[in-house]
Amino acid sequence: EVQLVESGGGLVQPGGSLRLSCAASGFTFSSYWMSWVRQAPGKGLEWVANIKQGGSEKYYVDSVKGRFTISRDNAKNSLFLQMNSLRAEDTAVYYCARDNLYGDDAFDIWGQGTMVTVSS
């Protein structure tokens, strides 16, 4: 079964750090671009970052540039999001998502999400 499972969310104080992980299974992880997408409570979807198959290209939404780092370990079929200098506005459910193979940034597989709460 094709599956993405996120972990690493939790409660963190403003200014703190958190590292999210996403374990992929059921497909050739190294063949796909991967993304992180977040959703603040009661709000819409916001794309956060993506990473190319080999990790050579990465893109970020402006609001997280310089604070978040996306990475991957293809040998372990895992995607990561290192989040530093966290702010209250980063509070959200974070989903990892697989970009489909057509190169059109369509996310065809999503994880169940992991909640990140930034609060003192």
Partner 1 sequence: QSVLTQPPSASGTPGQRVTISCSGSSSNIGSNVVNWYHQFPGTAPKLLIYSNNQRPSGVPDRFSGSKSGTSASLAISGLQSEDEADYYCAAWDDSLNAVVFGGGTKLTVL
Applying CB under 8 A, which residues contact partner 1?
35, 37, 44-47, 50, 59-62, 95, 100, 102, 104-108, 110-113
Q: Which is nearer to partner 1, 23 or 61 (CB)?
A: 61
Taking the complex as a whole, how short is the minimal distance between the CB of residue 75 and partner 1, in angstroms?
A: 26
d(CA 96, CA 88): 20
Q: Which distant-in-sequence residues (6+ apart) come within 8 Å of 63 by Cβ?
A: 89
Contact by Cβ (8 Å): 21, 6: yes
Of 21, 38, 29, nearest to 117 (Cα)? Answer: 38
Residue closer to partner 1 by CB (options 30, 59) is 59
Q: How far is the CB of 51 from partner 1 (least distance, A)?
A: 13
Q: How far is the CB of 46 from partner 1 (least distance, A)?
A: 7
